[in-house]
Structure 1
Amino acid sequence: MAIISEAMKKMKGYKLHIVKTGKYKTNTIVWKMKAPLNEDDATFRAILPYVLQSSSDRYPSTTALRSYLDELYGATLFVDLAKKGEYHIISFSIEVANEKFLSDPAPLLKKAFEFFAEILRNPHANGQAFDKETVDKEKRTLKQRIQAVYDDKMRYSNFRLVEEMCKGEPYAIPVNGELEKVDDINAKNLYEYYERAFSEDELDLYVIGDIVEDEVIEIADSLLQFNEREPQVSASYIPEKKPEVHEVIEEQDVKQGKLNIGYRTNITYGDADYYALQLFNGIFGGFSHSKLFINVREKASLAYYAASRLESHKGLLMVMSGIDRKNYQQAVTIIKEQMEAMKNGDFTEPEIEQTKAVTINQMLETIDTARGLVEVFYHSVVAGTLVDLDEWLENTRQVSKEDIVAAAQKVDLDTIYFLTGMEVGKSEEN
């Protein structure tokens, strides 16, 4: 019997995913909009969900909108942006109490749906342009979000690694768009983009909770209808292996160096060897028992932190560590040695079993929340390959040491990026 599964129905212009479960005391509605990453649209997409969630035609101020959410027993509205592979994803979600647990029999799910439709389809606009004051406010906030990446050196160094590693590829485009393009946005051209996004994006609606499937279909069909569209497919970029490793050293006024190393895994979500790649990453740098943590941080005392993570849809593995300038070469050498150890099968069956247990437990923790569950299911939409949870768990359990070594053989070192403090004698101006 499946742990938890989704029923999918084709609606007018979008796909409806219904996850019926008594696991949560709330019902959650999540709206996903997917389009290929491109420079012209990224900054528009970065501001659009925030403009839509701040006010609507019926609730023309943020205060009025939030006040109505309070009336829905403290329902929460949340928006998010993400890059998954070469796609830019906008998400809206609303979580509302399940009326079954309340003494008030008000149809909360339907009211939440109506509110959701209001946010998406009836923005605070005059038909040709958004409310100027709202757009100007969100432009200021977007600039702050973009600037925050530069101020947080851990995030900045990861951003710079991707920028250097994926130069010329859509994945290099920042999720929040570009600072210099924010001022080009106005109430009119953003509204034009809004109309285009809702007519061209691939749209998916998830409803999760203790719900009645037919009722959800009826409500969704009555409130949300869009023109039919063909899914936009992002160009698939498979760069040639670089003849030599790209190395970038950047100096700023920072106290702690940030060493970020990027590898091409040549494996993406939905591939047969993706499960082996996940376990490879867990043993290499994904968890506290991994080689990077033990050998770079604990044994050699070279790093304040050392870990790795996968970008599953782009086929990247990224190592993040914080080190002193003087330890740069030694840290790079030890990290390379850990990769070679993985390629040579220098890890044990107990390490594999521990990594399987932690990986599976991490997945089960993720699906403990409705939004986490949606993210897991949505991987299949992005990959264009259906992977259900039971299949994922079983395939992870079945991975052998030979499978992990085979996945490791496909991993190629691409770029080394080091953000470091100024050399002694250099001033900030220099």
Structure 2
Amino acid sequence: MVTINEEVKNQNGITLHLIPNEKFKTVNIVVKFKARLNRESITKRALLPYVLQQGPSKYPSRKELQIALDDLYGAVLSIDGGKKGNHHILSFRLEVANEKFIPNESSIVEDAVKLLNEVIFKPNTKDQAFNESIFNRERETLRQKIKSVIDDKMRYANMRLIDEMCDGELFQLHVHGYEEDLDQITPEDLYTYYIELLQEDQIDVYVLGDFDSNKMEKIISPIIEQEKRTTSVKNDVEEESTSKRKEPREVVDKQNVQQAKLHIGYRTNIRYQDAEYPALQVFNGILGAFPNSKLFINVREKNSLAYYASSRIESHKGLLLVFSGIAPENYQKAKDIIEEQMKAMKEGDITEDDLSETKELIVNQLLETLDHPQGIIEMLYQQVIAEKELKPDQLIEQIKNVTIDEVIEVGKKIQEDTVYLLTSEGVSANE
């Protein structure tokens, strides 16, 4: 069994997670900022990574920042945003060579931490505003990113499903923000929000690699000793109330597409922190997560109704989403067969082979994730989002012990909510 040792310390309103691990030759540092999703700030949070990645005050261009990274034996920096449940997460990731394995070097990691500190806390600003030319350029980059979603029909269909299914809920908010907000945001506005974020977000710092914890704690101090920050911020994980549909809702959009997208959203009423979560993982695995799943075999292979058919769960929101790409004229047949698979799951049409094969696939997937430093950190961070201690080895053990009866019990909680179809113009959804 894989055991991940994590030492957690709270200091100056920031939580430090030290993960000593002799397996890797690099040191990975990840700083995560967590805040509740908010319509007023989502576009600013989406824009910040683009602006901050262009370089801090000390290295005020992408080129100068890259030279500084190259000088640290090719350290790799990335910044991005994402949503988990009702929270938005900003992640700063830095991977740097471990000086233990480089002769005559003793300060690579310390220098890398100082550089990351510059990027996060000392951005390229003037008169309490971000650099105007960089801001304008990166605002256009984000605008193109937002516009590009409509060209990726699978992503677009998934976005529209969430729009309709989670109407009025925080999870509906688009992770890349909204184009109509962009022209209203100024370099001053973004800087003001950035200062607010530093004060109010919950901050977690992860350090993973082959190191001595006491020494690393001292090295990482530039990040956790920010003078302005004095208190820890608690972000609740409570779900806001959601409307329970008596009957599933059907939404049809029409565009000039050759392949229709049929996406169906279900409420699982189970989240990461719930006891049934491991059984939900297995339920989803048997339904549609793998090539041996019911959706793949029955919708795609046996009936040739879909170019793809799969499912996944939103662990922190309690959703199960089914995706399929179909010929427009096959909508009703494909929908019926997808719903038949869900019905079969709920009625216990699951063999011991289905169960054991799927559990093995899930466990192998988790073990593969734990083969990568970033995968380990992301798995550990799930506990922060859910405010529940569930270590990776515990989750793996619980999945191994899931029974068919537990999978059936999960099925009883799952409710179909919204059927979304993106189809070609001139085709009736009832064909």
Q: Which residue of 2 aligns with 1:61?
A: 61
Q: Which residue of 2 aligns with 1:213?
A: 213
CA contact (8 A) 2:329 2:427 kept: no
Superposed, which structure 2 residues align to 1:234-383 within 5 Å? 236-383=239-386
Question: What is the distance in 2 between the residues matched to 1:214 and 1:83?
Answer: 33
Per-residue deviation at 1:336?
0.6
Deviations 1:211-237 (A, max 9, x none): 111112112224432221331326522
TM normalised by structure 2 equals 0.96
Question: What is the distance in 2 between the residues matched to 1:303 and 1:262?
Answer: 17
CA contact (8 A) 1:56 1:122 kept: yes
Does the residue aligned with 2:77 lie in a helix, a strand or coil?
strand
CA contact (8 A) 1:199 1:229 kept: no
Q: Which residue of 2 aligns with 1:204?
A: 204
Unmatched tracts of structure 1, length 5 or more: 426-430
Does the residue aligned with 2:176 lie in a helix, a strand or coil?
coil
With 223-232 and 31-40 compared, the bigger mean Cα shift is at 223-232
The answer to whether 1:421 aligns with 2:424 is: yes
1:8 counterpart letter in structure 2: V
Question: What is the distance in 1 between the residues matched to 2:268 and 2:372?
Answer: 29
Q: Which residue of 2 aligns with 1:121?
A: 121
CA contact (8 A) 1:5 1:389 kept: no
Number of equivalenced pairs: 425
Question: What is the distance in 1 between the residues matched to 2:6 and 2:294?
Answer: 37
Question: What is the distance in 2 between the residues matched to 1:77 and 1:183?
Answer: 28
1:9 counterpart letter in structure 2: K
The answer to whether 1:397 aligns with 2:400 is: yes
1:29 counterpart letter in structure 2: I
Question: What is the distance in 1 between the residues matched to 2:304 and 2:241?
Answer: 37
Deviations 1:233-256 (A, max 9, x none): 265223232021110011000110
Q: Which residue of 1 aligns with 2:137?
A: 137
Question: What is the distance in 1 between the residues matched to 2:259 and 2:427?
Answer: 14
Q: Which residue of 1 aligns with 2:34?
A: 34
1:76 counterpart letter in structure 2: V
Distance 1:272 1:310, change over 3 A: same
With 261-270 and 240-249 compared, the bigger mean Cα shift is at 240-249
CA contact (8 A) 2:296 2:310 kept: yes
Distance 1:308 1:48, change over 3 A: same
CA contact (8 A) 1:37 1:234 kept: no
Per-residue deviation at 1:104?
3.7
2:190 counterpart letter in structure 1: L
Question: What is the distance in 1 between the residues matched to 2:148 and 2:75?
Answer: 28
Per-residue deviation at 1:423?
1.2
1:3 counterpart letter in structure 2: T
Per-residue deviation at 1:168?
0.2
Does the residue aligned with 2:140 lie in a helix, a strand or coil?
helix
Does the residue aligned with 2:30 lie in a helix, a strand or coil?
strand
Deviations 1:251-293 (A, max 9, x none): 0001100000000000000211000000000000011100000
Question: What is the distance in 2 between the residues matched to 1:31 and 1:416?
Answer: 38
CA contact (8 A) 2:258 2:328 kept: no
2:323 counterpart letter in structure 1: M
Q: Which residue of 1 aligns with 2:13?
A: 13
Distance 1:210 1:248, change over 3 A: same
1:81 counterpart letter in structure 2: G
Distance 1:193 1:261, change over 3 A: same
Question: What is the distance in 2 between the residues matched to 1:222 and 1:295?
Answer: 55
Question: What is the distance in 2 between the residues matched to 1:190 and 1:129?
Answer: 7
1:354 counterpart letter in structure 2: E
Distance 1:374 1:123, change over 3 A: same
Question: What is the distance in 2 between the residues matched to 1:424 and 1:410?
Answer: 34
Deviations 1:175-232 (A, max 9, x none): 0111110111111010000000000000000000001111121122244322213313
Q: Which residue of 2 aligns with 1:229?
A: 232
Q: Which residue of 2 aligns with 1:428?
A: none
1:243 counterpart letter in structure 2: K
Q: Which residue of 1 aligns with 2:105?
A: 105
Distance 1:424 1:13, change over 3 A: closer
Question: What is the distance in 1 between the residues matched to 2:222 and 2:34?
Answer: 23
Distance 1:192 1:234, change over 3 A: farther
Per-residue deviation at 1:2?
5.7
Question: What is the distance in 1 between the residues matched to 2:99 and 2:375?
Answer: 22
Deviations 1:42-62 (A, max 9, x none): 000001122112111110111
CA contact (8 A) 1:5 1:388 kept: no
2:396 counterpart letter in structure 1: L
Superposed, which structure 2 residues align to 1:42-81 within 5 Å? 42-81=42-81
